[in-house]
Chains A and B, each alone.
Chain A
Amino acid sequence: DVKVTQSSRYLVKRTGEKVFLECVQDMDHENMFWYRQDPGLGLRLIYFSYDVKMKEKGDIPEGYSVSREKKERFSLILESASTNQTSMYLCASSSPQVETQYFGPGTRLLVL
């Protein structure tokens, strides 16, 4: 079974802190994605990566950066956390040959 894991299920941080959200997949997928999900807004794509060291902005990249040093790991970085970044963060991966995405369990981040 494809497995996508995220480093934390729940996280509480203070405004201004640097926050790292880690995502690891074990299926050798080329593509990895970070979304945030807020009530009534659905899932919004923050960044995605189609190869190691490659990244592309999604729809809402402001306030975020990403890192993909290894194929299996995709990190989302909040350089200076703000209260409006309180959200559910979802990581996903896929391969070019199979169009479906596989999601991690999500990280619920609260910024105080």
Chain B
Amino acid sequence: SQQGEEDPQALSIQEGENATMNCSYKTSINNLQWYRQNSGRGLVHLILIRSNEREKHSGRLRVTLDTSKKSSSLLITASRAADTASYFCSPFSGGYNKLIFGAGTRLAVHP
């Protein structure tokens, strides 16, 4: 598997605003996964999008995947202070479910 590159490194918004994070990768994938990490805790899986899907929703989360550009985006709508966390993408190309994680995007949502 390969590492995704998240952008921006940090994002600061007000409650109620939307937050968009991007992920780029280099080679073809089976799927791409997004995870969240609250400060000092383990990662929590948010959503998985397969290579033949273009968009996926889960609650306030919307993920898009553009395989031609080798990029994905995570949109959190109507953000809340509880969304404050680091967000990681992991492009998966197969093999023992071995995932690789980059440095992530640190999101701060201010009340």
Q: Taking beta carbons and an 8 Å cutoff, which residues of A are in contact with B?
A: 4, 31, 33, 35, 40-43, 45, 48, 50, 56, 58-59, 88, 90, 92, 94-96, 99-106, 108
Contact = CB atoms under 8 A, between A and B. Distances in A.
A105 B43 CA distance: 8
* Range of interface residues on B (Cβ < 8 Å): 20 to 34
B85 interface: no
Nearest to A33: B98
B40 A106 contact: yes
B82 interface: no
Contact of A41 (B33, B41, B103): B103
Contacts of A100: 33, 45, 48
The 3 A-B residue pairs with the shortest CB-CB distance in the complex, in nearest-first order: A103-B42, A43-B101, A42-B103
B48 A105 contact: no
Nearest to A108: B40
B43 A103 contact: yes
A50 B96 contact: yes
Interface string B98-111: 11111110000000
B45 A101 contact: yes
Contacts of B88: 42-43
B68 interface: no
Contacts of A88: 40
14 contacts: A42-B3, A42-B102, A42-B103, A42-B104, A43-B101, A92-B42, A96-B96, A99-B48, A99-B92, A100-B33, A101-B43, A102-B45, A103-B43, A106-B42
Interface in B33-77: 33, 35, 40-45, 48
B20 interface: no
